[in-house]
Amino acid sequence: MSIYDFAVNNIKGDRVSLSDYKGKIMLIVNTASKCGFTPQYDGLEKLYQKYKDRGFVILGFPSNQFLAQEPGNNQEISSFCRLNYGVTFPMFSKIDVRGENADPLFKFLTKAAPFKGFELKKASGQKIYSVVKEHYPENLEGDEVKWNFTKFLIGQDGIVKGRYEPTVTPEELDPIIESML
């Protein structure tokens, strides 16, 4: 199975095949509107604007699985992203990114790019570790998504090249994406 075998619903509810992005570098991110990492939307949009004409796309997948930080419906999420952060990259319908009801795409991504730990050298890494440990200690086990704004980088060949936990900012990904283009 390849990334291109998956189809997902966009934020308007239309079915989209990921094969539509064949040959592009993709950054797949699970998002939330009321999270401490929500300001990353700004950096994600800047990355998208910088590289979209060179074969790069960001795909945003809202999820409400972490402290109910994405309570809105698809229309509310779309408006929030556009009005607050000027998001123009493709956004998709709200889904589960972990657990038995996780979207098959995220099951595939987490198998292809296992969890390697939080960046505990960063204050933000220590903080997210403590929040997860306090509220969802079971999330510390296994390879499933641990929190909002986990990022999966897919190469032009459709292969998962990396997984980046929420504390990795879009700005930190810029040189990696640049080197892949």
Tokens standing for residue 130 = 């403590």
pTM, rounded to two decimals: 0.96
pLDDT at site 151: 98
Q: Which of 83, 72, 7, 79 lies closest to 35 in space, CA to CA?
A: 72
Is 132 within the bounds of a domain? yes
Positions marked active-site:
35
User: What does the pLDDT look like over 46-100, one tens digit per residue?
Assistant: 999 999 999 999 999 999 999 999 999 999 999 999 999 999 999 999 999 999 9
Give the CATH number of the domain where residue 29 resides: 3.40.30.10
Is 166 within the bounds of a domain? yes
Domain that holds residue 84: 3-176
pLDDT at site 1: 84
Is 181 within the bounds of a domain? no
- The CB-side HSE value for 72 (13 A sphere, CA atoms) comes to 17
